[in-house]
Amino acid sequence: MTKPNLMVIDDLDSARQMMKRTLGRSYAVFDFASVAEALPAVERAEFDAIVTDLRMPGIDGIEGMRRFKERVPEIPVILVTAFATVETAVEAMKAGAFDYLKKPFEPEELELVVARAVEHARIKRDNARLRSALAGEFGVHGIIGKSQPMKALVEMLGRIAPSDVPILVEGESGTGKDLLARAAHAMSRRASGPYVALNMSAIPENLAEAELFGHEKGAFTGAEQARAGFFAEAEGGTLFLDEIGLLPPALQPKLLRVLQDGEYIPVGSRKARKGNVRVVAATNEDLARAVKEGKFREDLWFRLRVVPLRLPPLRERKEDIPLLVHHFVEKHALRLGRPPLEPDAEAMRALLDHPWPGNIRELEHAIERGLLLARGETITLADLPPELAQPAAEAAAGGAEGRYRRARDAWERKFLEDLLREAGGNVAKAAEAAGLHRSTLYEKLQRYGLVEKDAKA
């Protein structure tokens, strides 16, 4: 695996050599005696972080940082100095320093700060790639995904959206059927027309016909004036009927007439009206079963599902989770007044392992919670809903996979306890003995509660 590139700048050769010795095992370290020497290198190669002395002849550290960021705005810069004051620290952070180290410092301090900076740079790069992905091949009119099921779905949608045939979207609750309906509208010839959405579960059965087709004045008690229905509102555009399985039986033949002949009759009227509306319906029910049970008309079902679109549940498209997580972070961070924090490695594993019975809606709520509760530079497992910490597969006491994971975790915890004890509690020595990077070992120790979360690695 290629080591991250690290730039070290100090006018003292001894300081540069010390940092190279400390960081050389984990990073490809390039050292320079001045900012002037380092500037051309930043333009030639990609660096993950910069460590620079504050006071140097010529260009000092703060001015150097400004010049580096002019060239690479996202690069984290760590300033070090033997002349630390509150004023210089404040100035450094205001100027955009990632962190600030006062000389003399322990090698472990330097390692920890650099590890955080490199991880910060990695997240920034990943975010940039994800933003590009979301705006390009992985995002089509709000539909986000690179998994094979989603690619096939988007390809099919692209073929049928330009036509006026009805579309039936099938999928579990929370899978994003409304987004697919909006995408169908946006990709159709009706995109400049209205998009009107109606959830059948939100309408009382006795008012459903009037809501759909409108009514004349005096058509029923309380109808003090004529009112256009949802079909009239959607004229020239698309009408999205969610939870179509709840459409009252008496209205099913009337909807079929609209789909076949483009005609409907408002309540209280005897005159049919022509409608120019494309219908997209959605259901989380098994309509085939409803047809067999006599709850849904077979001819209406056939008419709706000329080309059915099935939205897969999130558990069948887990490779899309990182893209969706990033999308929800970008969507909600500003609204919540929070920085756009990404999940750390442990939190992302939990997000990938969770079965997501509530699908995308549940994932979105989990990320909102994570953004609200996060107190560090990332969203941790502790910030996510508690059910994510105990995946269903592991919770099943009799499950073979659950038993295996618990046994593996118990063995790993015992190994780490013995390792730490033999190293006299020194994490750096324990990491060296185990052949692990310090940050990796520290993450494992935190996971098993063997070190305090706010302790220094």
Residues 91 and 349: their CA atoms lie apart, in Å, by 38
380 and 348, same domain (yes or no): yes
Q: Cis peptide before 73, with omega less than 30 degrees from 0?
A: no
Placement of tokens 């029923």 in the chain: 220
Long-range CB pairs of 139-142, under 8 A, 24+ apart, other chains included:
139/327, 140/183, 141/182, 141/183, 141/186, 141/187, 142/179, 142/182, 142/183
Domain final residue, candidates 389, 424, 439:
389
Chain-centroid distance of CA 315 in Å reads 15
Instruction: With beta carbons less than 8 A apart as the criterion, state whether 212 and 202 touch.
Output: no
Q: What is the maximum alpha-carbon separation in the chain?
A: 96
pLDDT, tens digit, 9 for 90 and up, residues 353-378:
999 988 999 999 999 999 999 988 89
Structure tokens at 395: 């919770």
The whole-number pLDDT of residue 299 equals 95
Sequence-distant (≥ 6) Cβ neighbours of residue 134 within 8 angstroms: 144, 323, 326, 327, 330
Tokens found for residue 263: 């005609």
Out of 337, 358, 389, pick the residue that ends a domain: 389
Indicate the SS3 state at residue 341. coil
**Cα–Cα distance list, 244 to 106, 194, 199, 295, 343 (Å):** 66, 20, 8, 12, 37
Strand order in the sheet with 195-199: 195-199, 238-242, 278-283, 167-170, 309-310
Please indicate, yes or no, whether residues 332 and 208 belong to a single structural domain of this protein. Answer: no
**Within-domain flag for 235:** yes
* End residue of a domain, out of 108, 134, 160: 134
CA distance 212 to 208: 6
pLDDT of the residue at 140: 65
What pLDDT sits at residue 23? Answer: 92
Same domain for 168 and 249?
yes
DSSP state string for 100-143: EEESS--HHHHHHHHHHHHHHHHHHHHHHHHHHHHHTTTEETTE
Instruction: Say yes or no: 407 and 286 in one domain.
Output: no
Q: What is the pLDDT of residue 302?
A: 94
Helix (H) or strand (E) holding 170: strand 167-170
Tell whether 67 and 97 lie within a shared domain. Answer: yes
In this structure, the chain runs to a length of: 457
Q: What is the pLDDT of residue 113?
A: 92
Same-domain check for residues 425 and 351? no
96 and 191 assigned to the same domain: no
Q: Tell me how many domains the chain contains.
A: 4
What pLDDT, on the 0 to 100 scale, is given for residue 409? 64
Which of 298, 238, 237, 230 is closest to 264 using CA atoms? 230
Question: What SS3 state is found at 376?
Answer: coil
139 part of a folded domain: no
Position 415: which residue type?
F
Is 140 within a domain? no
For residues 156 and 258, what is the distance between their CA atoms, to the nearest angstrom? Answer: 25
Single out the residue of 178, 294, 314, 323 nearest to residue 243, CA to CA. Answer: 178
Whether residue 248 is contained in a domain is answered as: yes
Domain ranges, residue 176: 145-312
323 shares its domain with 303: no
Q: With respect to residue 394, please indicate whether it lies within any of the assigned structural domains.
A: no
CATH number at residue 456: 1.10.10.60
What CA–CA distance (Å, rounded) separates 278 from 234? 8
What stretch of H or E contains 209? helix 208-213
User: SS3 for 162?
Assistant: coil
For residue 29, give the CATH number of its domain.
3.40.50.2300
Classify 81 as helix, strand or coil: strand
Integer-rounded Cα Rg, in Å, for the chain is 30
- What does the alpha-carbon distance between residue 229 and residue 213 come to, in Å, rounded to a whole number? 5
pLDDT tens track for 337-354? 888 999 998 999 999 999
What would the two tokens of residue 437 be? 């990077």
- Together in a domain, 151 and 198: yes
Query: What pLDDT is attached to residue 126?
Result: 66
Q: Alpha carbon of 163 to those of 82, 149, 191, 306, 346: distances in Å?
A: 71, 22, 12, 12, 45
| 194 and 282 assigned to the same domain | yes
Q: Is there a single domain that holds both residue 171 and residue 292?
A: yes
Burial class (CB in 10 A: 0-12, 13-18, 19+), 310: middle
Give the Cα separation of 453 and 457 in Å (integer): 9
- Assign residue 349 the CATH number of its domain: 1.10.8.60
What is the domain-level CATH number for residue 291? 3.40.50.300
Contact assessment for residue 195 and residue 185, using Cβ atoms and an 8 Å cutoff = yes
Give me the tens of pLDDT residue by residue for the chain, a chain 457 residues long.
578 899 999 999 999 999 999 999 899 999 999 999 999 888 787 889 999 998 888 898 888 888 888 888 888 999 998 776 667 677 777 778 888 888 888 889 999 999 999 988 887 776 655 555 444 445 567 788 888 999 899 889 988 988 889 999 999 989 999 999 999 999 888 988 999 999 998 888 888 999 999 888 877 777 778 888 999 999 999 999 999 999 999 999 999 999 999 999 998 888 889 989 999 999 999 999 999 999 999 999 999 998 889 999 999 999 999 999 999 998 999 888 888 999 998 999 999 999 998 899 999 999 999 999 998 889 999 999 998 886 644 544 445 555 555 566 667 777 787 787 788 778 888 888 777 777 778 777 776 666 654 444 4
Claim to verify: residue 190 and residue 303 sit in the same structural domain = yes
